[in-house]
């Protein structure tokens, strides 16, 4: 019960805890286009540009043959189910940071795109083979690259954990509750201060007991007495197209001015 309540009202990234409608819409479509289908987004490689050209062509083709496809009763049931599922993830799942929720939509779209190619009369057999082979080959190359990065390049939060492990002796760690929980669960024994990530107007003031502080995240603005401390910063990064969650994290080391 507590987990369900937390998901819907606190940490689950639903419309209740994150109600920026425009952000949800843009991330919903970007998750399908870039994360699910491999389409181009800012910072991606030339490969994704090639995929985007093919994707655009295939998606436009779906519109052309839609009346034919939609006559099938089984397809109608699948389409309605997908629409219901889309509403569910849009309102009640974390579509801003967790692209995995759009996977059923991708599994629906890819067969429909392939089917549309065979339904379009202007395509001869050779053209169909070339289009689908190109799409498959480029997607496979992109998938292999992302898989290698996922395997060999640690996530930003893992890098932060390693940094904190090496530098956390007698230090106070200040961050949002979810990051603090992650560090505690990995055996970091420090004094933790939770930032109110629902209301950044709630400022905190560090006292004399907090001489050496590790601040995780861009939260300097909520520390009232930050000018009393010397600051140095380190940034940790991983490819957001491997994992959108916390893909770039800045860590500030604060020490009291003498």
pLDDT band at 1 (very low <50, low <70, confident <90, very high): low
Share of the chain above pLDDT 70, in %: 88
Q: Helix, strand, coil: what percent of the chain each, to 5?
A: 55, 15, 30
CA 56, 57, 58, 63 dihedral sign is positive
List, edge to edge, every strand of the sheet that includes 248-256: 191-194, 172-175, 212-216, 248-256, 229-237
pLDDT band at 16 (very low <50, low <70, confident <90, very high): confident
Instruction: For 70-103, write each residue's pLDDT tens digit.
Output: 888 888 999 999 999 999 999 998 888 888 899 9
Q: CA-to-CA distance for 11 and 53, rounded, in angstroms?
A: 37
| Nearest to 245, CA basis, from 233, 237, 235, 253 | 237
Q: How far is CA 143 from CA 14, 15, 108, 152, 224, in A?
A: 29, 31, 19, 14, 46
Q: What is the pLDDT of residue 258?
A: 64
pLDDT at 130 over 90: no
pLDDT at 199 over 60: no
Domain boundaries, the chain: 2-152, 156-256
Q: How far, rounded to the nearest angstrom, does the alpha carbon of residue 15 sit from its chain's CA centroid?
A: 16
Q: What is the pLDDT of residue 238?
A: 94
Scan for tokens 């974390």, then name that residue: 94
Contact 37, 108 (CB under 8 A): no
Q: CA-to-CA distance for 161 and 1, rounded, in angstroms?
A: 30
Task: Decide which of 19 and 234 is more confident.
Answer: 234
Q: What is the pLDDT of residue 9?
A: 57
pTM confidence score: 0.79
Q: What is the pLDDT of residue 229?
A: 78
Scan for tokens 């992109």, then name that residue: 142
Strands (E), 14-111: none
Q: CA-to-CA distance for 124 and 244, rounded, in angstroms?
A: 40
């Amino acid at each position: 019960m507590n987990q369900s309540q937390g998901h819907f009202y606190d940490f689950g990234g639903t419309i209740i805890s994150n109600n920026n409608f425009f952000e949800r819409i843009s991330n919903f479509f970007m998750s399908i286009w870039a994360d699910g289908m491999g389409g181009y987004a800012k910072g991606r490689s030339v490969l994704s540009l090639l995929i985007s050209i093919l994707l655009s062509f295939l998606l436009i083709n779906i519109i052309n043959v839609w009346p034919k496809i939609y006559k099938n009763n089984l397809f109608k049931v699948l389409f309605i189910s997908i629409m219901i599922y889309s509403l569910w993830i849009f309102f009640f799942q974390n579509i801003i940071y967790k692209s995995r929720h759009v996977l059923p939509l991708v599994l629906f779209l890819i067969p429909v795109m392939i089917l549309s190619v065979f339904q379009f009369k202007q395509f001869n057999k050779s053209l169909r083979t070339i289009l689908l082979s190109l799409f498959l080959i480029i997607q496979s190359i992109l998938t292999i690259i992302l898989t290698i990065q996922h395997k060999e390049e640690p996530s930003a939060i893992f890098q932060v954990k390693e940094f904190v492990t090496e530098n956390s002796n007698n230090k106070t760690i200040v961050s949002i509750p979810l990051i603090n929980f992650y560090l505690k669960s990995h055996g970091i024994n420090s004094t933790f201060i939770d930032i109110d990530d629902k209301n950044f107007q709630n400022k905190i003031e560090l006292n004399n007991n907090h001489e050496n502080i590790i601040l995780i995240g861009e939260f300097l603005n909520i520390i009232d007495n930050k000018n009393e401390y010397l600051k140095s910063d380190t940034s940790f990064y991983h490819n957001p197209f491997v994992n959108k969650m916390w893909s770039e994290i800045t860590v500030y080391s604060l020490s009291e001015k003498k």
